[in-house]
Structure 1
Amino acid sequence: MSAQPVNPNLPPDHVTVFIDGVEMAAPKGSMIIHAADKAGIPIPRFCYHEKLPIAANCRMCLVDTEIGGRAAPKPSPACATPVMDGMKVFTRNEKALKAQRNVMEFLLINHPLDCPICDQGGECELQDLSLGYGRSVGRFVERKRVVPDEDLGPLVATEMTRCIQCTRCVRFTAEIAGTYELGGMQRGENLQIGTYDGQPLMTELSGNVIDVCPVGALTNKVYRFKARPWELIARPSLGYHDALGSNLFHHVRRGELLRSVPRDNEAVNECWLSDRDRYAHEGLLADDRAAVPLLRDGDGFREASWDEALDAAARILRESAGDDLGVLVHPATSNEEGALLARLADGLGSRHLDHRIGQLDLSDGAQAQAFAMPVAEIEQADAIVIVGSNLRHEVPLLHQRVRKAAKRGARVHVVNPVDFDFTFAVASKHIVPPAQLAAALDGVDLGDAGNVAVIVGGVAENGPHAAAIRKAAAAFAAAKNAKLCRIPQGANALGLARHGVLPAGLDAQAMLRQPRKAYVLYGIEPGLDFADQQAALKALGGARVVAFSQFACTSTRAVADVILPIGALPEIDATLTNLDGRDQQAVAAAKLPGQARPGWRVLRALGGALALPGFEFTDLDGLRAGMAPVAVQVAAGSAAPAAGNGLQVAASQAIYRVDAVVRRSHALQAHPLNAGPHASLNPADAAAAGLAQGAMAKFSTAAGTATLQVLLDARVAPGCVWLESGHGATAPLLAATTLEVARA
């Protein structure tokens, strides 16, 4: 072959390749399958996946190649054969088709005839390709092999007899999730894919093995046997359990939401989805869904019509307008609802409006801000500093981006009160009690890194030392020319801040410590969503409360006078703003339960009943047309309680207890990552208190006491206790700066 390029006008890093007679340019080092996909020329495949490392073990993508007029002696795998200048590729000639058909015949030797009962039926890659490349009659009469199934936990169902050993799931857990939980065992015809130790999948991204599996070996255990793909309608929506706002589809049949799957968006979640976003929809079917307006009747509630309930709510708000009214909003509330809540508070003369219900220290008037480095660019960073965050549980797919950066060679530095688990190597660790996090930043050495991201998470943002940590992180970022990325504390905290759901008066903590005569609660489960549960329940219990709620739960019934049932995000049209500042729209998917209504409709009706300005629109388009960012001057707010004697409190969100919907998903609650309420102590601190592994201990604060099981964990910094929020048992302790511990 001539040393001269076929096309001298191409860039030096490209070559000319001919695929089925079509001339095209392809980057040097890329594979034939990349060039063919770019040109829209189909090549069958099973093991190849654009996001996974190349394995070349299914051989379905065999093609015929010719270089310099000489044909290759045998077919080549398109996924693992680099393009060469002047190469000719034939994907549909007799040699290629014969090879592909032979591979398909071998794959089907042991595959069971399960299509009528297989959940993958109708969207199965093996079904699709066997139609085009399979024989109508099998030539093998030997008995098919049977592979025993493993229990991979409550999320992923297995039928491993169907497995074709493409190893996509193995490569996903190894390279993307970073947990290395699946692998191949034995050899030859005895090869099996499994966990070896028989343990459930522990990665927070385990549901993605369902998506990458090209057959029915790995399926959705919650969705199993419920529907066929052709019965479902796909509605574009968003994940609303963290601030990333993962793009997804809800699959619905006659108004019933049956499953959630990822929707590709390279700038946000790529093609992946966290288990929390995938399985949380199960919580929408909880027994305590609010499905009809309720009015307090003595010690209980009675059902009411919408007109009667709105009249009662309007009467409470009218009688408590002005300084006597506080409006508290869940940080996952949509922009449309947030804009109307801001209008409602303004129309009633209340300056006490806030969505920062989970944050203890608001003394610096902090509010959510967009990432200075877009999440898609974080994987290109040279160095990343993680401050006060159990990132893997807080925003799983942001953690995955950091893993990609670390695999590229980025140095990751951690400043935390607990040595949380990450799936990447850490260059330096500073594990110190919460009060020392701000000072510990000074010890981080970035070397000569030029592209640096500083990620500040929920352990820092929600803790009693948040203001000092935010100040130190901003100063560190400015001094190191780094990009500051503070994770918004709530799926739409940034959008609500932009649309004026912030106080010109008392902030969320001050509203509860200085009780108002009446409150509006929006989307909040009072018993678990507040940073200071004791102050919240005491203040709400002594006031008149109008609760807009998805759930008529015990804690809502304990404080509310009126319960107005509203839809959750999968049931309404809505806009959320993610941590990049990107506005994203969700479309209503599931049917609203009973008489529940979209929140914006209920707010419009209530605003109309109160004759307030700004509620004259008639539809969602009219509402959106009148929405615009609002600048609110937030003054310095509440500080956390002063530190006392004892152990410092380091609190993080339990991964599957972050909000009311997730807490009601049976599958997620059954997952081993949902460890239940407990307190983790450094072994030295436990020994000083006379506590052994598994012992019950009494933890005391000025706000209350709790009895919890003690777990000894050397990852916890000496001098502090690690608690997870979202549990009723730990709630009395989360607002404290320090606590005392003694044997129960």
Structure 2
Amino acid sequence: MLRVINKTSVAARKISPAILKTGVRAFAASTNVKEEVEVFIDGKSVMIEQGAALIQACEKAGADIPRFCYHERLSIAGNCRMCLVEVERAPKPVASCAYPVMPGMKVKTNSPLVHKAREGVMEFLLYNHPLDCPICDQGGECDLQDQSMRYGSDRGRFSEPMGKRAVEEKNFGPLINTEMTRCIQCTRCVRFANEVAGATELGTSGRGNEMQISTYIEKTIDSEMSGNVIDLCPVGALTSKPYNMKARPWELKKYETIDVSDAIGSNIRLDTRGVEVMRILPRLNEEINEEWISDKTRFFYDGLKVQRLTTPLIREGDRFVPSSWEAALKRVAYELTNTKGNAAKAVAGHLADAESMVALKDLFNRIGSDNLAIDAPNGSKPLAINADFRSNYTLNSTIVGAEEADVVLLIGSNPRHEAPILNTRFRKAWLHNGQDLGLIGQADDLNYEYAHIGDSSKDIEKILDGSHPFAKRFAEAKKPMIVVGSSIIENSKDSEYLLSKISELSDKYKNTLFHDGWNGVNILQRAAGRTAAYEVGFIPTSSEAAAQPVKFLYLLNADEISAADVPKDAFVVYQGHHGDVGAQYADVILPGAAFTEKNATFVNTEGRTQITRAGVNPPAAAREDWKIIRALSEVAGHTLPYDDLSSVRSRLSDISPALTRYDIIETPSISQIGFTMQRKPSAQTSGEILSSVIKNFYRTDPISRASSTMAKCTKAWVAEEDAGAELDSAKA
């Protein structure tokens, strides 16, 4: 069985994905045994589930077992043999990662036999390994270094005349640097690519001394999660190409924060040197991102150094002139105080934090304006959803709950690009639990099989009337899950129609969609600041306010706008950290701080409140966003009643206590009512094609658009796809 589910052997033998899928599910089912057995590790009694690996029992007993190929989130390989232990009555040491526990088993993890076996294994591993430690990026945090110091011999016995093996380097793309001569064939990268990332092109070829890890044809690894193989690699074979030769780990300061490149809120660690972010690494959080992050999260940090706004700017004719904060704020305050009521409009962008949105909303309310908007194509119109109900704009089933669902219906959403971390959960559930997925919207490669129900909004009728085969699977589901893309409520012309039909669907299957704390109707947000915007009420409130001619426009990190969204005669203020789209329309530019430079509150798509922590200072004269708005309010004569961060967060708590209850998901007790109220029988469909709202995964926000690494990814993968699509259409 272990050889069947080993992805390396699967790739080498060209076993079909169907057989592989069946084998993995059978393995998962066989190990899902709740009965516990007693084993003895170094004389210590341990109770552990029957079927668990022996290495897990040793860890539970507190024994430190070295390993290179074993990883608790990947299938068993048993390649490296470093985890050898001595089992009573076994003729030789056994690999504890691939050996299931048995009742009464007696194990020694530190006997002379085990010590000699591990020393021999390490000697074999180092036989071909080059002496690159002084110039290897993995130096200082290398598993091979650490374990050879602890378990290796002080000398080697190999003296072959042929010398060490050398392997040709591979081109995995602009993100992963390869030194394959260092590879010890642990196959962690192969198993991750096949099982988690869905990049099945990576595998092994050759046998024995000729074994190599590569793609079977010369191509790069086109996956949004590929950078995680850098963390998984226990040696220096796979390292970060953008970080190559930039710093040593002991030179860096480490700060724990969260990611804002999407609405998942992945937990990350900033490694900084001086005022520069040198790299971003994942931080373990089982309820959100486990220990993975997307490539955009990992590599877009170089965009923090370029195209930054560092001083206030005032437009004079066709150019911007640097200004002092005092002069810039006086100019903005003058225009603001001379604007009456809803003629002043504020727009919040994708990266706006909760503190700044509350401060801006309070300021505009004080001058008599309720004209608020989000930076979406229809962001000034009243929302199609009722934002009074939290369940109407969050992922109610939660990120972890995505694995519990047995049937998932995606409507107008491409989770591979909108939320790669969530997509890995769907792939895991599809691979291990047999989860069925269906899609209404533009067909795309999501890294798993799904039933494509249709392209347009009217295809939801096929589920309601039962005419599509997937409708039967949805009706029979015990824990169904509906995932509605954020584009449906922000961009779609058929928002009212679709939400009305989803309301009908939720009412028809209410017994399975809403039961025992399970809420199966979800909105998947794609912007980090959007959930908090709904939470604090930074949304269009009325058609009357939106219809008012705008004389003063305040853009808070709002870059997803076009010239049509900016009134010609309006005075425009742009507050942000990059000279991106919104800045080109501004009359005054106020430089803000990026997420790595401020302590700010964000709410992820499942409604979990988290905070960023500043790892570096804002550049030059840039300031934190809420402080800029607070200073403006004082100059304008409408002083906001908070002077420090704790006071602002007290104001957040007044609006919604959930905004200061960190890392907790508030579960609405009336979750079903919100969507039931969306019913509008008169709503009609235009038959709109539900195309993917993200055209380029690597460039979705000001930071990633400024990143040269993300530009290289775009050239390597997005440009290739566009060229291939044009070629296909030409052939057709």
Within the alignment, does 1:467 sit opposite 2:496 as a pair? Answer: yes
The structure richer in helix per residue is 2
Counterpart pick for 2:148 among 120, 130, 137: 130
Q: What does residue 499 of structure 1 align with?
A: 536
Paired amino acid for 1:297 = E
Q: How far did 1:245 drift? A: 0.8
Evaluate the alpha carbon distance shift between residue 12 and residue 569 of structure 1 in structure 2; reply closer, same or farther with a 3 A threshold.
Answer: closer
Paired amino acid for 1:14 = E
Evaluate the alpha carbon distance shift between residue 576 and residue 711 of structure 1 in structure 2; reply closer, same or farther with a 3 A threshold.
Answer: farther
Paired amino acid for 1:258 = M
Deviates more, 1:156-165 or 1:366-375: 366-375
Report if aligned partners of 1:678, 1:711 keep a CA contact under 8 Å in 2.
no
Counterpart pick for 1:652 among 693, 714, 727: 693
Q: Following the alignment from structure 2 to structure 1, what is the Cα–Cα distance between the partners of residues 540 and 487?
A: 23
Within the alignment, does 1:36 sit opposite 2:58 as a pair? Answer: yes
Q: How far did 1:414 drift? A: 2.5
**Count of aligned positions:** 653
Within the alignment, does 1:487 sit opposite 2:515 as a pair? Answer: no
Counterpart pick for 1:668 among 710, 715, 722: 710
Deviates more, 1:173-182 or 1:411-420: 411-420
Q: What does residue 140 of structure 1 align with?
A: 158
Evaluate the alpha carbon distance shift between residue 168 and residue 559 of structure 1 in structure 2; reply closer, same or farther with a 3 A threshold.
Answer: same
Q: What does residue 351 of structure 1 align with?
A: 370
Gaps of 5+ in 2: 1-32, 514-519, 657-673, 679-683
Counterpart pick for 1:386 among 403, 410, 430: 410
Q: How far did 1:453 drift? A: 0.7
Report if aligned partners of 2:382, 2:541 keep a CA contact under 8 Å in 1.
no
Q: How far did 1:167 drift? A: 0.2
Paired amino acid for 1:567 = A
Q: What does residue 276 of structure 1 align with?
A: 296
Q: What does residue 626 of structure 1 align with?
A: 651
Within the alignment, does 1:610 sit opposite 2:610 as a pair? Answer: no
The structure richer in strand per residue is 1
Q: What does residue 421 of structure 1 align with?
A: 445
Q: Following the alignment from structure 1 to structure 2, what is the Cα–Cα distance between the partners of residues 401 and 161?
A: 33
Q: What does residue 7 of structure 2 align with?
A: none
Q: What does residue 728 of structure 1 align with?
A: none
Evaluate the alpha carbon distance shift between residue 503 and residue 628 of structure 1 in structure 2; reply closer, same or farther with a 3 A threshold.
Answer: farther
Evaluate the alpha carbon distance shift between residue 273 and residue 358 of structure 1 in structure 2; reply closer, same or farther with a 3 A threshold.
Answer: farther
Q: How far did 1:407 drift? A: 1.8
Evaluate the alpha carbon distance shift between residue 213 and residue 675 of structure 1 in structure 2; reply closer, same or farther with a 3 A threshold.
Answer: same
- Summarize deviations over 1:544-594 as a string: whole Å, max 9, x none: 0111021224x4454211100001112211111111111011101233122
Q: How far did 1:437 drift? A: 4.0
Evaluate the alpha carbon distance shift between residue 584 and residue 178 of structure 1 in structure 2; reply closer, same or farther with a 3 A threshold.
Answer: same
Counterpart pick for 1:249 among 263, 266, 269: 269
Report if aligned partners of 2:78, 2:98 keep a CA contact under 8 Å in 1.
yes
Q: Following the alignment from structure 1 to structure 2, what is the Cα–Cα distance between the partners of residues 649 and 87?
A: 57
- Summarize deviations over 1:129-168 as a string: whole Å, max 9, x none: 0100112222212311111111111111101011000000
Q: Secondary structure, in 3 states, of the residue corresponding to 2:355?
A: helix
Q: Following the alignment from structure 1 to structure 2, what is the Cα–Cα distance between the partners of residues 24 and 363?
A: 56
Q: How far did 1:436 drift? A: 1.9
Evaluate the alpha carbon distance shift between residue 224 and residue 373 of structure 1 in structure 2; reply closer, same or farther with a 3 A threshold.
Answer: same
Report if aligned partners of 1:545, 1:562 keep a CA contact under 8 Å in 2.
yes
Q: Following the alignment from structure 1 to structure 2, what is the Cα–Cα distance between the partners of residues 677 and 464?
A: 31
Q: Secondary structure, in 3 states, of the residue corresponding to 2:158?
A: coil
Paired amino acid for 1:421 = D
Evaluate the alpha carbon distance shift between residue 182 and residue 668 of structure 1 in structure 2; reply closer, same or farther with a 3 A threshold.
Answer: same
Q: Following the alignment from structure 1 to structure 2, what is the Cα–Cα distance between the partners of residues 437 and 345?
A: 42
Q: Following the alignment from structure 1 to structure 2, what is the Cα–Cα distance between the partners of residues 545 and 92?
A: 70
Q: Following the alignment from structure 1 to structure 2, what is the Cα–Cα distance between the partners of residues 12 and 202?
A: 39
Counterpart pick for 1:516 among 530, 539, 550: 550
Q: What does residue 95 of structure 1 align with?
A: 113
Q: How far did 1:458 drift? A: 3.9
Q: How far did 1:608 drift? A: 2.0
Q: What does residue 582 of structure 1 align with?
A: 608
Paired amino acid for 2:485 = G
Within the alignment, does 1:308 sit opposite 2:327 as a pair? Answer: yes
Alpha carbon RMSD of aligned pairs, Å? 2.7
Counterpart pick for 1:156 among 165, 171, 176: 176
Deviates more, 1:236-245 or 1:559-568: 236-245
Q: How far did 1:365 drift? A: 4.5
- Summarize deviations over 1:444-493 as a string: whole Å, max 9, x none: 33142111110111453422212221222232133223210111242121
Report if aligned partners of 1:31, 1:82 keep a CA contact under 8 Å in 2.
yes
Report if aligned partners of 1:352, 1:506 keep a CA contact under 8 Å in 2.
no
Q: What does residue 26 of structure 2 align with?
A: none
Report if aligned partners of 2:443, 2:455 keep a CA contact under 8 Å in 1.
no
TM-score by length of 2: 0.84
- What pairs up with 1:257-268 in 2 under 5 angstroms? 257-268=277-288
Q: Secondary structure, in 3 states, of the residue corresponding to 1:384?
A: strand
Q: How far did 1:679 drift? A: 8.2
Q: How far did 1:676 drift? A: 4.8
Report if aligned partners of 1:363, 1:467 keep a CA contact under 8 Å in 2.
no
Paired amino acid for 2:402 = I
Percent identity for Structure 1 against Structure 2: 37
- What pairs up with 1:161-200 in 2 under 5 angstroms? 161-200=181-220
Q: How far did 1:424 drift? A: 1.5
Counterpart pick for 1:209 among 226, 229, 249: 229
Q: What does residue 704 of structure 1 align with?
A: none
Deviates more, 1:602-611 or 1:379-388: 602-611
Deviates more, 1:290-299 or 1:454-463: 454-463
Q: What does residue 571 of structure 2 align with?
A: 544
Q: Following the alignment from structure 1 to structure 2, what is the Cα–Cα distance between the partners of residues 398 and 467?
A: 26
- What pairs up with 1:522-537 in 2 under 5 angstroms? 522-525=556-559, 529-530=560-561, 533-537=562-566
Q: What does residue 689 of structure 1 align with?
A: none
Q: Secondary structure, in 3 states, of the residue corresponding to 1:593?
A: coil
Report if aligned partners of 2:458, 2:685 keep a CA contact under 8 Å in 1.
no
Report if aligned partners of 1:388, 1:437 keep a CA contact under 8 Å in 2.
no
Q: What does residue 3 of structure 1 align with?
A: none
Q: What does residue 53 of structure 1 align with?
A: 75
Q: Following the alignment from structure 1 to structure 2, what is the Cα–Cα distance between the partners of residues 677 and 195?
A: 18
Evaluate the alpha carbon distance shift between residue 679 and residue 479 of structure 1 in structure 2; reply closer, same or farther with a 3 A threshold.
Answer: farther
Report if aligned partners of 1:331, 1:491 keep a CA contact under 8 Å in 2.
yes
Within the alignment, does 1:478 sit opposite 2:507 as a pair? Answer: yes
Within the alignment, does 1:235 sit opposite 2:255 as a pair? Answer: yes
Q: How far did 1:651 drift? A: 4.7
Report if aligned partners of 2:412, 2:690 keep a CA contact under 8 Å in 1.
no
Report if aligned partners of 1:459, 1:650 keep a CA contact under 8 Å in 2.
no
Evaluate the alpha carbon distance shift between residue 450 and residue 649 of structure 1 in structure 2; reply closer, same or farther with a 3 A threshold.
Answer: closer
- Summarize deviations over 1:370-401 as a string: whole Å, max 9, x none: 22211101111111111111221111111111
Evaluate the alpha carbon distance shift between residue 372 and residue 22 of structure 1 in structure 2; reply closer, same or farther with a 3 A threshold.
Answer: same
Evaluate the alpha carbon distance shift between residue 439 and residue 620 of structure 1 in structure 2; reply closer, same or farther with a 3 A threshold.
Answer: same
Q: Secondary structure, in 3 states, of the residue corresponding to 1:370?
A: coil
Counterpart pick for 1:15 among 2, 13, 37: 37
Q: How far did 1:366 drift? A: 4.7
Q: Following the alignment from structure 2 to structure 1, what is the Cα–Cα distance between the partners of residues 721 and 238?
A: 33
Paired amino acid for 2:341 = G
Evaluate the alpha carbon distance shift between residue 356 and residue 628 of structure 1 in structure 2; reply closer, same or farther with a 3 A threshold.
Answer: farther
Q: How far did 1:108 drift? A: 0.2
Report if aligned partners of 2:418, 2:526 keep a CA contact under 8 Å in 1.
no
Deviates more, 1:115-124 or 1:30-39: 30-39
Evaluate the alpha carbon distance shift between residue 660 and residue 108 of structure 1 in structure 2; reply closer, same or farther with a 3 A threshold.
Answer: same
Evaluate the alpha carbon distance shift between residue 643 and residue 289 of structure 1 in structure 2; reply closer, same or farther with a 3 A threshold.
Answer: farther
